[in-house]
A and B are shown apart, each in its own frame.
Chain A
Amino acid sequence: MNVAAFVVLAAMLTAYVMLDGYDLGVGAVHLWFSKTERGRAASFAAIKPFWNGNEVFLIAAGAALFALFPKVYAAAFSGFYLPFIIVLWLLMIRGMSIELRGYFTSDIWNGFWDVAFWLSSALLVLFFGVALGNIVRGVPLDTQGYFAGTFTFLLNGYALSVGALALTALSMNGATFLWMRLDPDLRPRAQTLMRALWPVVLLLFIGVTVETIAAHPIGAHVGLWIAPAVALAALIAVYASKRAGGALAASSAFLAALMASAAQTIFPFLLPAFRGGGLDIYNAAPNAYSVGTALTVTIIGVGAALCYGTIAAYRMMRA
Chain B
Amino acid sequence: MCSARLGITVVKMQSALIADRIQFAFTIMFHYLFPIATMGLAPFVAYFTVKGIRNNDQTALRTAQFFGKIFALNFAAGVVTGIPMEFQFGTNWAGFSARAGSVVGQTLSMESVFAFFLESVFLGVFLYGRNRVTPGFYAACAVLIWIGSWLSGFFIVATNAWMQHPVGYVVTKSGTIELRNIGAVLLSSFAWWQYVHVLDGALLTGAFILAGIGAYYLLDRRHVDFAQGIVRAGVTVGIIASVIAIFPTGDRDSSDVTHFQPAKLAAMEGEFRSERGAPLAILGMPDTQHGVLIDPLYVPDLLSFLAYGNFRANVNGLSSYPSADRPPVDLTYYAYHIMVGLGSLFLAAMLAATVLLRRGRLFESRWMLWILMLAMPFPYIANEAGWTVAEVGRQPWIVYGLMRTSQGTSPTVVAGETIFTAIGFAGMYFLLGVVFLFLTLREIGHGPEQ
Chain A residues within 8 Å of B, Cβ to Cβ: 48-50, 52-53, 55-56, 59-60, 62-64, 66-68, 70-71, 73-79, 81-82, 84-85, 88-89, 91-93, 95-96, 99-100, 103, 144, 146-147, 286-287, 289-290, 293-294, 297-298, 300-302, 304-305, 308-309, 312, 315-316, 318-319
Contact = CB atoms under 8 A, between A and B. Distances in A.
Contacts of A89: 424, 428
Given A49-B127, A89-B428, A286-B178, A297 B87 contact: no
Contact of A56 (B101, B116, B129, B170): B116
28 contacts: A49-B124, A49-B125, A49-B127, A49-B129, A50-B124, A59-B86, A60-B112, A62-B87, A66-B109, A67-B108, A70-B102, A73-B89, A73-B105, A74-B97, A78-B410, A78-B411, A81-B410, A84-B90, A88-B87, A92-B428, A95-B76, A95-B83, A96-B435, A293-B182, A301-B113, A305-B113, A316-B129, A316-B133
Interface of B: 76, 79-81, 83-84, 86-87, 89-92, 94-95, 97-106, 108-114, 116-118, 120-125, 127-129, 131-133, 137, 170, 172, 176, 178-180, 182, 410-413, 417, 421, 424, 428, 432, 435, 439
B129 A88 contact: no
B421 A85 contact: yes
Contacts of B100: 70
Contacts of B109: 60, 63-64, 66-67, 294, 297-298
A77 B100 CA distance: 15
Contacts of A103: 439
Contact of A74 (B95, B106, B117): B95
A60 to B, nearest CB: 4
A287 B179 contact: yes
Q: Is the interface of A mostly helix, strand, loop or mixed?
A: helix
A315 B89 CA distance: 37
A63 B412 contact: no
Contacts of A289: 179-180
Given A70-B105, A298-B113, A312 B97 contact: no
Given A88-B83, A289-B179, 17 more contacts: A66-B105, A67-B102, A67-B105, A78-B92, A88-B84, A91-B83, A99-B80, A144-B411, A286-B101, A287-B102, A297-B110, A298-B109, A308-B121, A312-B121, A315-B129, A316-B129, A318-B132
Give the one of B84, B94, B111, B170 with max A CB within 10 A. B94
A68 B84 contact: no
Given A63-B105, A91-B83, A316 B179 contact: no
A132 B111 CA distance: 26
Contacts, number: 217
B424 A85 contact: yes
A96 B80 contact: yes
Nearest to B72: A99
Nearest to B84: A88
A66 B124 contact: no
A85 B413 CA distance: 12
A70 B98 contact: yes
A282 to B, nearest CB: 14
A141 B13 CA distance: 21
A99 B411 CA distance: 37
Nearest to A87: B87
Contacts of B86: 59, 62-63
B102 A290 contact: yes
A171 to B, nearest CB: 23
A211 to B, nearest CB: 29
A27 to B, nearest CB: 16
A209 to B, nearest CB: 31
Contacts of B421: 81-82, 85
B152 to A, nearest CB: 11
B417 A82 contact: yes
A53 B97 contact: no
A73 B101 contact: yes
Contact of B121 (A53, A84, A300, A318): A53
